[in-house]
Structure 1
Amino acid sequence: MTDTPDRIYSTPHGNVADFVFNEDVVRVFPDMIKRSVPGYPTIVENIGVLAARFAQPHTHLYDLGSSLGAVTQALRRHVKTEGCRVVAVDNSTAMVDRCREYLHAQDAMYQELLPVEVVEADILGLVLQPASLIALNFTLQFIAPDRRQGLLESLHRALLPGGALILSEKLRFHDLEEHVLLNDLHLDFKRANGYSELEIAQKRSALENVMRPDSLEDHRERLLAAGFSKVVPWFQCLNFASLIALP
């Protein structure tokens, strides 16, 4: 499957609307995220590798905010633990429909993959089954800040001893110089991937009301307060990072 180029913000928008995961975004999402998030392919593939260590027999593996199912596909490629079941959850109808198509194509290419269920739902109201692995891959940053603690507490309750939460997020930094430097380097990354100044500016306007990043320190404190015993950063590229939180 070839990626459709992301040109959503390539022409002037008179009034830049808040970013939503609609059909227009779904159509270009693989190209958009590859060109916008440094290290994204490495994070996704290695979530599968990490999951293989934590997955326990006859438990659920959750991909929350699954978008097109990239993490779900990585889980199915790498986890061979008996009786595991992957559940991919997203609240965008367009994302869920396309995710199911991609997973059907994966079924045709690989044998003996873990069973998967794709669910359209708000993860804030989700009732989770006992899980050995939960992935929140660039999802928490789109949750209202005052709901994040409660969500992490519910995920901690669902995780079995020996399991893990993998949390990937864009970061902000309390040190102003550090924040400016890494933000500028991220803009350079986007420019190097072909985005124009107009595209960068308009997408920033679209995201500013819907995506609110936290600092690494904020994530650590919130996870520990939710009951997790250990928080280990395992990947960072510029202002994007991924953490392992142990119950």
Structure 2
Amino acid sequence: MANKDNIFATPREHVSDFCFDDAVAEVFPDMINRSVPGYQTIIDTIGELGQAYVTPQSNVFDLGCSLGAASLSVARRCPPDQCQIYAIDSSEAMVKRCQRVVDAFNLPNQIAVSEGYAQSVEIQNASMVIMNFTLQFIAPDERKALLKTIYDGLNPGGIFVLSEKVKHEQDSGNHLINNLHLNFKRNNGYSELEISQKRAALENVMLIDSFSTHESRLREIGFSDVVMWYKCYNFMSLVAIK
């Protein structure tokens, strides 16, 4: 059973910026499932997309892999000799735990885990690239260049799966979906203190875009189609096809 997330349950005089340290890595499965509506559906569908689009002898890149859930989902759906999966994260704490998970499933030859920044990864011979709630933590002025690198490294017909928290274009709609998400977290046992302190911790490090911003940027880069396949409250997942 996953350790329970109570990181923000104690009042703090000063709330530091959120980071993916040992404390977060230790409770990450509980945190993400209680914070992101439909997270398991997104993970399962990433595996289905891998089964449909990953081609023989190609690469799959999971950028910001955290504990490797997306990589494992693809690995479950694709034969071991079909592709090489690269699971990469900038957090040492996440990488160490991800490696333990991959070793436990006896998949070290199919999933290569490494520490690094998404902006520095060389994408090549890729049939699938995944950024599952990762781009929102990358500086806005670095996003387009990173996405262009991903596009250039994808093979024709390859896909880019992007899951993100998004904002609505108008204030009234944004207020509505934010309140629905707050209720989702309350219903999953988070207190008002936890919600407030975590929001303060994320304020400066998780800078979100609207879906239209994501879509227009991906089309400008060259993707032939951008499909939002999942949306719940202020969370969405899309597939961009090269």
TM-score by length of structure 1 reads 0.95
CA distance in 2 between partners of 1:61 and 1:114 (Å): 13
Counterpart of 2:192? Answer: 197
Paired AA for residue 56 in structure 1: T
Q: CA contact under 8 A between 2:80 and 2:110: conserved in structure 1? A: no
Instruction: Provide closer, same or farther for how the CA distance between residues 21 and 233 of structure 1 changes in structure 2, counting only shifts above 3 A.
Output: same
Deviations 1:159-204 (A, max 9, x none): 0011100000001011211111000000000000000000000000
Query: Structure 1 residue 217 and structure 2 residue 212: aligned?
Result: yes
Q: CA contact under 8 A between 1:18 and 1:206: conserved in structure 2? A: yes
Shift of 1:75: 0.7
Q: CA contact under 8 A between 2:61 and 2:129: conserved in structure 1? A: yes
Counterpart of 1:96? Answer: 95
Match of 1:143 among 121, 131, 138: 138
Paired AA for residue 77 in structure 1: R
| SS of residue in 2 equivalent to 1:107 | coil
What are structure 1's unaligned runs of at least 5 residues?
none
Shift of 1:129: 2.2
CA distance in 1 between partners of 2:79 and 2:207 (Å): 36
CA distance in 2 between partners of 1:188 and 1:205 (Å): 18
Counterpart of 1:131? Answer: 126
Shift of 1:63: 0.6
| SS of residue in 1 equivalent to 2:157 | strand
TM-score by length of structure 2 reads 0.97
**How large is the RMSD of aligned CA atoms in angstroms?**
1.2
Q: Map 1:41-80; keep pairs closer than 5 Å.
A: 41-80=40-79
Query: Structure 1 residue 116 and structure 2 residue 111: aligned?
Result: yes
| SS of residue in 2 equivalent to 1:94 | helix
Counterpart of 2:38? Answer: 39
* Identity of matched residues, %: 47
Paired AA for residue 72 in structure 1: S
Shift of 1:116: 1.1
Q: CA contact under 8 A between 1:138 and 1:167: conserved in structure 2? A: yes
What are structure 2's unaligned runs of at least 5 residues?
none
Q: CA contact under 8 A between 1:57 and 1:81: conserved in structure 2? A: no
Shift of 1:83: 3.2
Counterpart of 1:30? Answer: 29
Q: CA contact under 8 A between 1:76 and 1:114: conserved in structure 2? A: no
| SS of residue in 2 equivalent to 1:28 | helix
How many pairs are equivalent?
242
Counterpart of 1:6? Answer: 5
